[in-house]
Amino acid sequence: MDMKTHCHTSYCLGLIIVLFATLFRLEAQNPTSPPPAIIDTLVEVEIEEIYVFARHHQKVRPLTLEERRQLWRRIRDVKKVYPYAKYVAATIIETYEYMQTLPEKEQEPHLKRVEKELKKEMEPKMRDLTLNQGRLLIKLINRQCGMTGYQLIQSFLGGFRAWTWQIFARIMGANLKSIYNPLEDPDDALTERIIRLHELQRL
């Protein structure tokens, strides 16, 4: 493994661990207050989620060979890293819910154990990622968690540490301040459509 790949692996893994720890600690520092009592009876009905894709009425030119290759690379990358992003987000939720049942003095030791296990499980997977897959993983973690990596690190570790991680990210060709925005960013829109089709088992 060359130095650049090693740095990239350490960066992706380190960022995942920092995001994981920060998300939980932010929740611990700002616990959600219990909802007020509901007086009226409300009927809640779950309906199946519906995805709407635009129809192009104008003639669309066929993709070039290079464009088709890029599309299939993106599909491959999404299929590979999206489960990791979902796993990290699910682990955060599961750990947070469990820690609410623990005495305060036992929460920090448990969190450290989970962080250690997460690092042990994710490190081999991070080594198999390309640079593009690593950058995509960071964006998809942002998609799952709802905050940028920079905001999370700044909120808990402070501005200087966030700035340091941002410099490291920029060296690796990423940006902790970037926002996953499929409504305005065509690149994110393509990723989102691939995710939706993948979830519908159409890819």
Burial class of 31 by CB neighbour count within 10 A (0 to 12, 13 to 18, 19+):
exposed
At 91, the pLDDT band (50, 70, 90 cuts) reads confident
Mean pLDDT, range 82-105, rounded to an integer: 83
Query: Are the C-beta atoms of residues 17 and 115 closer than 8 Å to each other?
Result: yes
Lowest mean pLDDT among 7-11, 27-31, 50-54, 168-172: 27-31
Q: List Cβ neighbours of 148 (8 Å cut-off, separation of 6 or more).
A: 142, 176, 177, 178, 179
- Say whether pLDDT at 76 is over 90: yes
Query: Are the C-beta atoms of residues 78 and 136 closer than 8 Å to each other?
Result: yes
pLDDT tens across 108-149, in order?
888 778 778 877 887 788 788 888 888 898 888 889 888 777
* pTM metric for this prediction: 0.67
Segments in 50-101 forming alpha helices (H): 65-99
pLDDT tens across 41-71, in order?
565 666 666 666 555 555 677 889 998 999 9
Predicted pLDDT at 71? 92
Query: Are the C-beta atoms of residues 143 and 199 closer than 8 Å to each other?
Result: no
